[in-house]
Amino acid sequence: MSKLLTVGTVAFDAIETPFGKTDKILGGSASYISLAAAQFSIDQGIVSVVGGDFPKEFLEKLNERNINTEAVEIIEDGKTFFWAGKYHNDLNSRDTLITDLNVLADFKPVVPENYQDCDFLLLGNLHPTVQMDVIKQIPIKPKLVALDTMNFWMDNTLDELMEVLKKVDVITINDEEARQLSGEYSLVKAAQKIYEMGPEYVVIKKGEHGALLFHEDNVFFAPALPLEEVFDPTGAGDTFAGGFIGHLAKTEDISFENMKRAVISGSNLASFCVEKFGTERMENLTHDEIQKRLLQFKLLTQFDIEIN
């Protein structure tokens, strides 16, 4: 069974959408990623940090799904990272109301011994020096290292980001970030420039417009499933990443053909994530629901045209 290690945030989120609002609920990139990857039979652990205020029940939600949280450090006299945001009516944009880094400000990740031999490593969206710190603690390069990042790190810590990019196989970013990082408007050209920075695979997330996978001269596109209702987009990108790496870890196959399936798996899980607030939908997702929706993805995209 493949080992997947994810480094990311475990946090409190407070979310407001046109359909309602939540109190402090389970959030953070590592939570969404691991809940998505938990849909696959793998051995997975997360490295993160929370404060003494973090409810045991939240970690238990993860443990119940075979997510090892022993390396989630608990700083008893600290407070958990807290993000609050409010979505606009179209759900495509949001205002961040609160970002209290709290214990995350001094996060020193420690990779536990039993995951130092992980096969797959996912570096969630964090300070690039934290991401690099994790890579350095893993003596033998995993089969695949994936990294998620965002414009904030490009704006503020570009040199550090460029250093860590040299060490990764896959980068996942959104279309605007790909343009910012590469200086190219065309996503085809952007991917080519990003290859030169290190990653051999570039995954560009376009939200409701789907996701693109680039590798050498190959491109694959997975649409987002058109939904009647989107309730809360929070965590969709991390859920996509978790489904992507979870599929790869389970199948232990990093061929381009299998990466296509991984992108579809990620898109599939993300389509569920947005149906309820926070992680709620991902906590109550069945194998049958997932399989049924994979069939919808096939119907949505597959065609049979004669080429002569």
Q: Contact positions toward its own copies, by CB under 8 A?
A: 89-90, 185-189, 206, 209-210, 212, 218-221, 223, 226-230, 257, 260-261, 264-265, 291, 294-295, 297-305, 307-308
**Shortest distance (Å) from residue 219 CB to its own copies:** 6
Helices (H), 39-125: 56-63
Q: Which of 10, 89, 80, 54 is nearest to 278 (CA)?
A: 10
**Shortest distance (Å) from residue 252 CB to its own copies:** 15
Question: Based on CB atoms, which residue is closest to its own copies, 139 or 302?
Answer: 302
Tell me the CA distances in angstroms from 243 to 13, 115, 266, 275, one per residue in order: 21, 20, 4, 16
Question: Based on CB atoms, which residue is closest to its own copies, 30 or 262?
Answer: 262
Question: Based on CB atoms, which residue is closest to its own copies, 141 or 209?
Answer: 209
Question: Based on CB atoms, which residue is closest to its own copies, 60 or 176?
Answer: 176
Question: Based on CB atoms, which residue is closest to its own copies, 167 or 206?
Answer: 206
**Shortest distance (Å) from residue 187 CB to its own copies:** 6
Q: Give backbone dihedrals phi and psi of 283, rounded to 5 degrees, phi first.
A: -80, -15
Rounded to 5°, angle at Cα 265 from 255 and 268: 155
Q: What region, left, alpha or beta, does residue 198 occupy, with left being phi > 0 and alpha being psi -120 to 50 degrees?
A: left
**Shortest distance (Å) from residue 255 CB to its own copies:** 12
**Shortest distance (Å) from residue 39 CB to its own copies:** 13
What is the residue whose two structure tokens read 């992507």? 244
Pairing of strands 3-7, 72-75: unpaired
Interatomic CA distance for residues 225 and 296, integer angstroms: 8
